[in-house]
Chains A and B, each alone.
Chain A
Amino acid sequence: MTDRTKKKTISRRTLLKGAAGVAGLAAGSGTLLGAPYVHAADAKVLRYLGTAVNEGDEISKKCLADTGIKIEYITATTDDVTKRVITQPNSFDVLDTEYFSLKKLVPSGNIFPLDAKKIKEFDNITPVFTKGELPNGKKIGGQGTAPWKVLYLDGANSKTFSATPTEYITLIPTVYNADTLGIRPDLIKRPISSWAELLNPEFKGKASILNIPSIGIMDAALVVEATGQYKYGDKGNMTRAEIDLTMKVLTEAKKAGQFRAFWKDFNESVNLMASGETVIQSMWSPAVTKVRSMGIPCIFQPLKEGYRSWASGFCVSKAVAGGPKLDWAYEFVNWYLSGWAGAYLNRQGYYSAVLSTAKANMSADEWGYWMEGKPAQADIKAPDGTVLEKAGAVRDGGSYDDRMGAVVCWNAVMDENDYMVRKWNEFIAA
């Protein structure tokens, strides 16, 4: 017995020695053959899967200059991003997606959570993500797939979300915003203050919603609540009866000719609004800015019922875990949160996850306009230098605290998603 144990330990020790030798050799070869090592460092390439919203050329150029990491964008629609993660997890390295899709992505096991300890600025990430509150401590609405509900996992390979903070982060937060209705004040000619106006027969044939079933139905739910017809337990996770009720309201509106068209693409929404085909529609902040920069009046109208919010972040493909690409991914994410990209996002009307670093990369005037709701001192320019707002302008909805503080629900995937999609097809056929 003792003999055998002894033998075993010896063999293990020799093995370790051997391993050290190999490691030493490997390390030695690295210094001896310096050239290929440098060459390898030059070709740090990450395939970045996401929607067009965050995939700016300037970001990838700046990233290459700062870190030497070359970002190759793979652009797809929100739905197709999810589809690709599920069906082709080896076709990308870094994933940029929204929190609501995590309910599908995490159980698939195709994404790998990042370690909070390796993210330098993690503790400076806005508490909107981590606690569901503003930096000043005000609680914000958490209906739907709010990020803090799906931010943490139980373990590195876990498929269940953790209610308490852990170091395993599903998506490292990057960008988010509060969405509301965009309106054409020159064509409506009266103040708009409630979601109920979306289905107001006054705008028959001139309204539009987003053609993503799970988001379209939430906009309709906001209308239903605003008109006092029904109060939902959770607009982002309806029961079948609630889905039936909401779809009935939408169907009636559709049959009455309320909607001009549904939009799915950023440019579609800009076109509809700019051409006057629609005068009131759910919209994104940069789309409103784009209409306005064409010289057409358009307001991202704050409403008394509050905003529907969305948020997105980074994780990696499980195929990346363990390889050198994981280190590059950490380097990239750390760079992303270090301020330049955050300022870039803020200047488009989105919000960056780490406010302090973004602030350091913006002028006081820019910060005042975009984040504090102050009138612009000088002209406000887009990242590409075009003038977005003249001096004196104030951002629609005001400050960060005013806008994010009024969020009532988050983009979501419902438990009854399958039923909802069937009902949506029924609605389109009605």
Chain B
Amino acid sequence: MTQDTGAADLTSPLAPMTAGGSDQAASGGRLRKAAARSIAWLQAGPMMLVFALFFLLPLVLVIIVSAWDYNEYEMIPAFSLRGYTDTFEGCISGLPELCTILKTYLKTLKLCLLTWGLTLFIGFWVAYFLAFHVRSKTWQIVLSLLCTIPFWTSNVIRMIAWIPLLGRNGLVNQGLIGSGLTTQPIEWLLFSEFSVVLALVHLFTFFMVVPIFNSMIRIDKRLIEAAYDAGASGWQTLVNIVIPLSKPGIVIGSIFVITIVMGDFITVGVMGGQQIASAGKIIESRLSALQFPAAAANAVILLGITILIISALTRIVDVRKEL
């Protein structure tokens, strides 16, 4: 919306020029269109350049390198699909046992799905509270800033801090044993899929809250009043008005969370005690061993799968149209 008005403002100086004669109106209109288009390109230009230089070019390089050969200490610029074939090693010969890469991706997808579901649920209600129950703008800002608290410390410190809470002799276990609920400390609280999902949800709910809140705040309050006046129950209002109108926020938040979790290996590593496989972990261990082409091949595979998920999501909701 704001972009459109911006473009109109910029094209307006052209108006007197084309308004010269009525016989020139047709060609003037074409000229005006062409000028508007070139100005649109100019406006998009700097961003395009940045994208091309810092996103597309490195991506192309990664794809090229993924098809190179390598030895212990260097990449060899000769065509080889070793990075890919090694990655899918045992996928056919090892049947019915699943191969490493399939097992890894199934695990990553499982963690991703759990995190996505939980962040969506929590994020939605936090955003709902902020948008509809907090009246003052100041408090809305203050409370959304509170959501950033998990980001105030470094990743590693944040994760080490879970040990005194969830560990074998941690607060939770001491509380449970103290209250007589269990006699043995619960082991799966830490270094397990549970703790990985917990940490991911703790970190990334914020990425759900912001876009959903943004969508909700734009919902015309009169729509909700109208629904109320027409006798809709709270649930009906939610399902028929709030959720459909928050869809763009939900999809954008989902894209954030899914792309981050698919590529995450630090949280999965530290909270999973380095014993839970993730797609990012494979890339990291290849990089550590200086096997760059193999790492690049795995990165290309991860990118492909993530793009598939995102395009499926955008099929469900056309974000561009909704915005």
Contacts and interface: CB of A to CB of B under 8 A. Distances in A.
B104 to A, nearest CB: 5
B273 A261 contact: yes
Contacts of A205: 187
Interface in B22-45: none
Contacts of B156: 265
A277 B275 contact: no
Interface residues of A, number: 38
A418 to B, nearest CB: 6
A429 B277 CA distance: 5
A276 B275 contact: no
A424 B285 CA distance: 9
B168 A417 contact: no
A86 interface: yes
Contact of A259 (B170, B273, B294): B273
Interface stretch (B1-9, B159-167, B233-241): B159-167
Nearest to B90: A426
Interface in A379-430: 413, 417-418, 421-422, 424-426, 428-430
B87 to A, nearest CB: 9
B275 A275 contact: no
Given A107-B72, A261-B274, A425-B282, A418 B289 contact: yes
B288 A83 contact: yes
B319 to A, nearest CB: 34
A54 interface: no
A259 B286 CA distance: 23
A254 interface: yes
B86 A262 contact: no
Nearest to A272: B163
A428 B275 contact: yes
Contacts of A44: none
B281 A428 contact: yes
A259 B190 CA distance: 12
A86 B290 contact: yes
A58 B273 CA distance: 33
A7 B191 CA distance: 82
Given A107-B73, A262-B275, A428-B274, A277 B286 contact: no
10 contacts: A79-B289, A82-B290, A83-B288, A83-B290, A104-B72, A213-B285, A261-B274, A277-B190, A418-B72, A429-B277
Q: Which 3 pairs, one residue from A and one from B, show the smallest C-beta to C-beta distance?
A: A261-B273, A262-B274, A429-B277
